[in-house]
């Protein structure tokens, strides 16, 4: 009963429009995070997460506290940019990637006599997604009997998350969704859990970049951006999707999150390979 009362009090936080406006101004003044791409609803929900964590019920009092406390400011920014991830998250989506996307890319490269395959994972957080994709490609290389050159680039704005990704060490619960033979082949047992092998790690690099600045890289065969665009205003979603189109090679693949979809001009730029799993392919003009 006491717990229920406390939980109700947790949610008794009323945000005025001015609070979100002040939050936008605070982040803009103190960091390079492009806060203006996010929807007000998302910012309000993430603001409440930190307010509940330190038991603040007044948005103005909390924001005053953030202005005076650098540690809390860092925690707030981290909450705003957080991404939930895991190895092979959404099995059905990764099944489509394994059965359609990866084999088609590899076969096209073999037929053209090309060896380089470039993949981009936007909002990669702690690295599980880029490593998952790399494992699928390496398995396909072995199946085809070809030694293709793979580079998977994972980008995120959270330095702490990227540190974990680069280190490549994951707890037993984090690797629980990895197929047993993949775990034995691509990970070694270490004191704190499991570490990616040098062979897997050599195929993946991580960079601190937001969803816009990744465009310094030229062309990709496959771009994955899941559970990120849904938090952005529609105009930014359209701009990002058009950017993905330009960055993809002819016939390149795009995978979005299952709660996301193509918007605006993006609907004319890609053909749906699997609508339910948001797998699309670039339409070459």
Residue owning tokens 């952005």: 232
Q: Structure tokens of 67? A: 């202005």
Confidence of residue 10 (pLDDT cuts 50, 70, 90): very low
Burial 226-244 (b: 16+ CB within 10 A, else e): bbbbebbeeebbbbbbeeb
Q: Structure tokens of 73? A: 């400011």
Is the CB of residue 126 less than 8 Å from the CB of residue 161? yes
Tens-digit pLDDT profile for residues 227-265: 888 888 889 999 999 999 999 999 999 999 888 999 998
Is the CB of residue 38 less than 8 Å from the CB of residue 3? no
First-last CA distance in the chain: 63
Distances from the Cα of 38 to the Cαs of 34, 72, 262, in angstroms? 8, 20, 17
Distances from the Cα of 24 to the Cαs of 27, 35, 72, in angstroms? 5, 6, 16
What pLDDT does 127 receive?
A: 95
Distances from the Cα of 88 to the Cαs of 20, 37, 92, 97, 197, in angstroms? 35, 28, 9, 10, 17
Taking alpha carbons only, the member of 150, 96, 100, 129 closest to residue 228 is 129
Tens-digit pLDDT profile for residues 77-113: 888 876 678 999 989 999 999 999 999 999 999 999 9
CA atoms within 13 A on the CB side of 53: 10
Confidence of residue 130 (pLDDT cuts 50, 70, 90): very high
Proportion of the chain above pLDDT 70, given as a percent: 93
Q: Structure tokens of 53? A: 């964590």
Query: For residues 49 and 215, which has the higher predicted lDDT (pLDDT)?
Result: 49
Q: Which CATH superfamily is domain 91-282 in?
A: Vaccinia Virus protein VP39 (3.40.50.150)
Is the CB of residue 134 less than 8 Å from the CB of residue 182? no
Tens-digit pLDDT profile for residues 174-200: 999 899 999 999 999 998 899 999 999
* Average model confidence (pLDDT) across the chain: 88
Burial 260-282 (b: 16+ CB within 10 A, else e): bbbeeebeebbeebbeebbbbbb
Domains of the chain: which residue ranges? Answer: 2-80, 91-282
Is the CB of residue 80 less than 8 Å from the CB of residue 123? no
What pLDDT does 35 receive?
A: 83
Is the CB of residue 118 less than 8 Å from the CB of residue 221? yes
Q: Structure tokens of 195? A: 């570490």
Longest distance between any two alpha carbons in the chain, whole Å = 68
Dihedral angle sign, alpha carbons of residues 172, 178, 183, 186: negative
Strand partners, 187: 196
State whether residue 241 is helix, strand or coil.
helix
H/E stretch holding 156: strand 149-156
Separation between Cα atoms, residue 232 and residue 229, nearest integer Å: 5
């Amino acid at each position: 009963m006491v717990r229920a009362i406390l939980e109700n009090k947790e949610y008794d936080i009323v945000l005025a429009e001015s609070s979100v406006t002040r939050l936008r101004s605070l982040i803009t003044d103190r960091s390079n995070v492009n806060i203006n791409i996010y929807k007000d609803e998302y910012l309000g929900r993430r603001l409440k997460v930190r307010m509940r964590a330190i038991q603040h019920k007044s948005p103005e009092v909390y924001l005053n506290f953030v202005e005076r406390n650098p540690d809390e400011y860092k925690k707030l920014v981290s909450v705003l940019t957080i991404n939930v991830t895991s190895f092979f998250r959404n099995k059905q989506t990764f099944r489509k990637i394994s059965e359609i996307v990866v084999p088609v890319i590899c076969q096209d490269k073999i037929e053209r006599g090309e060896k380089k395959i470039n993949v981009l994972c936007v909002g990669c957080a702690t690295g599980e997604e880029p490593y998952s994709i790399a494992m699928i490609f390496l398995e396909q290389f072995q199946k085809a009997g070809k030694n293709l050159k793979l580079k998977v680039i994972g980008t995120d704005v959270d330095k702490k998350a990227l540190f974990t990704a680069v280190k490549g060490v994951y707890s037993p619960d984090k690797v629980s969704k990895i197929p047993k033979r993949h775990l034995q082949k691509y990970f070694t047992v270490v004191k704190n859990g499991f570490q990616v092998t040098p062979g897997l790690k050599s195929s993946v690099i991580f960079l601190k970049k937001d969803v816009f600045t990744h465009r310094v890289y030229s062309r990709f065969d496959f771009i994955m951006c899941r559970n990120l665009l849904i938090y952005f205003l529609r105009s930014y979603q359209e701009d990002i999707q058009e950017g993905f189109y330009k960055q993809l090679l002819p016939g390149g693949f795009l995978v979005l999150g299952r709660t996301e979809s193509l918007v605006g001009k993006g609907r004319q730029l890609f053909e749906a390979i699997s609508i339910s799993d948001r797998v699309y392919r670039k339409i070459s003009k």
